[in-house]
Structure 1
Amino acid sequence: MATFTTGDGVDLHYTDDGDGPPVLLLAGFCGPAESWEFQRRALIDAGHRVIALDRRSHGRSADPPLRALLRDHAAQDWRDVVARLSVPSLFLAPRDSQLWPAGHAAWAASVNERAGVVTLDGCGHAMAVDQPEAVSAAIVEFLR
């Protein structure tokens, strides 16, 4: 099991499969790494290295005391991962999500010169499951 420890001592689990250009998949609130399975398999088959993170208290990552799911901790988790990997980043967001608003994705992309953002209409917070084809198409386009 692959893990790394955050700055505040929480062990985060991630998967790292395949070879080739890296793709990092971070699910939104309540989404484990497995929620990307449709995209993960397709990207590996297309020749990419695919890294998927279980955020704190999600999937196989540690459940810290008091279930520290505060927005600042969750935000720090993905910032730590993106900073450690130093890879181009695509931020996907459903336009009207209350949990990961499109504005958050736009901000995240604005602070990383190697990032892009795609906003999807007509899907819920679990967009990788709600619209797997649209999400896969956005990822493939970004990787070109």
Structure 2
Amino acid sequence: MPTVVTNDNVTLNYIDEGAGPVIVLIAGFCAPATTWVMQQDALVKAGYRVLALDRRGHGDSESPEHGATMARHGQDVENILASLGVDDAVLCGGSMGASTIWSYVSQFGTGRVKAVVSVDQTPKMINDAEWSNGFFGLTDSNKDTFFADGVPDTGKGLPKWKSALPILKLVAKLRAMPKMVSPDTPPMKALLHDHAVADWREVVATVDVPVLMVAGRESQFWPCTHAADSIAGNPLGRSVVLENCGHASNMDRPMEFNAALLDFLGSLPQ
């Protein structure tokens, strides 16, 4: 894998395949860039250049003790885009990868961004009287302890046995298990907490490039209504809900997800 060194001296790995308009794929908590393989192939075939990133602490990138914040992960995206000379990218993030994009946009704007795709990630994980699209059971009163033992089983959404099938498909495609990292290290626990308490709703509502919010109808983490609700006031936003689909939308329903993604990409100004 090629690498980029960030401005705080952390080496990040990425996949670079294909030629054409650039789409940057950013995976979620604990997941490596290789989990996008079913999108990578479809995108390259459709004429796109795919950059799939291993965030710090993920995949084959370095895992420093420092920088375990959403702000720093957003800065890493800027470092990578600047280093590679990318200035017209579609940024596509799954789960925490989507929040990484909103962190980047909040700090650096959209000068290098053509559009954004968020894959089953609510912009606010804490539920309150005004927002019911957060992580099931997460409130301001329990936010400091809710994820102390990792991501809890909510008992909602797609059942576990159905969730295992996409992993088997992924393993068959990669001919290996994807390199998932442990959520139990101090940096990863800190990162998860920082992710959980963030609120990106204003960033999503005011971003000045086209946005596609994808949701799984049977997400195990939050209501699928987060997708439409978060872009309700943004004329550049659109949403899609994938049926019979859990949180890992790009793996649960790869054909349907790829069709929605390619349709959105095809709608963008050339």
Where 1:85 maps in the other structure, the secondary structure is coil
Question: Match for residue 44 of structure 2?
Answer: 44
2:4–2:80 CA contact under 8 A, matched in 1: no
- Indicate the larger mover: 75-84 or 114-123: 75-84
1:104 corresponds to 2:213: no
Deviates more, 1:92-101 or 1:124-133: 92-101
Residue 129 of structure 1 and its aligned partner are, at CA, apart by: 1.5
Letter in 2 for 1:22: V
Structure number with bigger Rg: 2
Give the number of the structure whose residues are more often strand, by fraction.
1
**Structure 2: distance between partners of 1:97 and 1:48:** 33
Aligned residue in 2 for 1:18: 18
Contact 1:44–1:50 (CA<8 Å) still a contact in 2? yes
2:212·2:264 contact (CA, 8 Å) conserved in 1? no
- Is the alpha carbon distance of 1:28 and 1:89 closer, same or farther for their aligned partners in structure 2, counting shifts above 3 Å? farther
Residue matched to 2:251: 129
Contact 1:105–1:117 (CA under 8 A) maintained in structure 2: no
What pairs with 1:50-65 in structure 2 (closer than 5 Å)? 50-64=50-64
Q: TM-score, normalised by structure 1?
A: 0.78
Taking structure 1 as reference, are residues 77 and 138 closer, same or farther at Cα in structure 2, changes over 3 Å only?
farther
Contact 1:91 1:105 in 2 (8 A): no
Shift of 1:16: 0.8
Q: Aligned-residue CA RMSD in angstroms?
A: 2.8
Instruction: Look up the match of 1:92.
Output: 118
Residues 33 and 53 in structure 2, CA contact (< 8 A), matched pair in contact too: yes
Shift of residue 5, structure 1, vs aligned partner? 1.5
Please report the TM-score for the alignment, with normalisation by the length of structure 2.
Answer: 0.45
1:79 offset after TM fit, Å? 4.0
Q: Which residue of 2 aligns with 1:5?
A: 5
Change (3 A) 1:105 1:79: farther
- CA distance 1:70–1:92, change in 2 (3 Å): same
Instruction: Tell me how far 1:85 sits from its aligned partner.
Output: 2.0
- 1:76 maps to 75
The residue that corresponds to 1:114 in the other structure is 209
Q: Which runs of 5+ in 2 are unaligned?
A: 90-113, 123-132, 136-191, 220-245
**Cα distance in 2 for residues equivalent to 1:23 and 1:69:** 25
Q: Please give the alpha-carbon distance, in whole angstroms, between the structure 2 residues aligned to 1:10 and 1:76.
A: 12
SS in 1 for 2:4: strand
C-alpha distance after superposition, 1:117-137 (max 9, x if no partner)? 313132354332223234312
5+ unaligned residues in a row in structure 1: which ranges? none
Distance in structure 2 (CA, Å) of the matches to 1:91 and 1:10: 26
| Corresponding pairs, count | 141
Gap change, CA 1:63 and 1:12, over 3 Å in 2: same
